[in-house]
Amino acid sequence: MVLALALGACTNLLGGGRDGTMEYPGSGAGPGATAIYVVKDKDTIEGVSQRYGVPVQVIAERNKLQPPYTLKPGQSLAMPGARFVPDSTGGPTTSTATNAPGSVKREALASPVKGEPPRSAAPGEPTPLSPTASQTSVTVPATPPPPPPARMAWPIKGKILAPYGAGAGGQKNDGIDIQAEPGAPVKAAEGGTVVYAGSEVAHLGNLLLVQHPGGYITAYGNNEALLVKKGDTVKKGQAIAKAGSSGGVASPRVHFEVRRGGSRTIDPMTVLPPP
């Protein structure tokens, strides 16, 4: 499962689709899901094609455009096979910038979870914490943040129900699923700021996203209850939620993700101490 990434001391969490942003399909997206680009002023189909690597003819046919292919600001374009392009405008984005809080549209993180469905595309690939129906617009700073200076703490101790990466049947997991007792305290893996607290992300139930120094974001899903709200500052090891099975998972657990730059997932086991 995932969380495409909602995110951190960036600016505007839960922002809508702004002109000039790309919304990438999340892990739980169906076979026909595709990236969606929101046209900005002075965009041309040729320029969009060149930036995202999607042929003009493909864009025109998929979106039923007629010559001369005039685009309007705010227009949404389906972009099959669009490559991931970090935002380089320097403005507030939905991802993880060291000093700005991210904006999560509503596809933030999600992934279908009936049992243990996938949570991402390829492990470590830039898939903005995302779901299926509601897409999360997550842009990443042009310069990736440095690696974490210190190890994070386990959000909860328990058996790993689903590891990071590819699983049985080719399914992918953007994080790890940790077995938990109902109501057990879920703790912040590192100090930071809560940038999302809610239950709008399909299959992740009550979800928290915490932005940390260095451009990292951690996600805590499937909680029974949340103990903090968006904007709160939390300390490493502080109880921020109660474990549960919200989001339709088969058993109580904590879905835990670590993301870098807002969209690139990393294996949580690489920043956690030995179990």
pLDDT tens readout for residues 104-123 = 333 344 333 444 444 443 44
Q: Is the dihedral of CA 78, 21, 136, 143 positive or negative?
A: positive
Cα–Cα distance for residue pair 273/153, rounded to 1 Å: 7
**In the predicted model, what is the mean pLDDT of residues 176-190?**
97
pLDDT 10s digits, 42-91: 899 999 888 888 898 888 888 888 888 889 888 889 888 888 665 444 33
Q: Note the Cα 15 to chain centre separation in Å.
A: 13
Kindly tell me if the per-residue pLDDT of 174 is higher than 80: yes
Query: Are both 195 and 221 inside the same structural domain?
Result: yes
Confirm if 85 and 22 have CB atoms less than 8 A apart. yes
**How high is the pLDDT of residue 215?**
84
Spatial CA neighbour of 258 closest among 228, 224, 214: 214
182 shares a domain with 228: yes
Alpha carbon 131 to its chain's center: 8
**Does any domain span residue 220?**
yes
| Domain hosting residue 69, numbered range | 35-79
Same domain, yes or no: 50 and 91: no
Quote the number of domains for the chain: 2
Whole-angstrom distance, CA of residue 30 vs CA of residue 256: 23
Averaged pLDDT for residues 142-161? 75
Could you tell me how many residues make up the chain? Answer: 275
| pLDDT tens figures, 247-264 | 999 999 999 999 987 668
CA distance 225 to 67: 53
CA-CA distance, 81 to 227, in Å (whole number)?
A: 40
Q: Based on the fold, state whether residues 48 and 176 are members of the same structural domain.
A: no
pLDDT of residue 33: 72
Task: Check pLDDT > 90 for residue 223.
Answer: yes
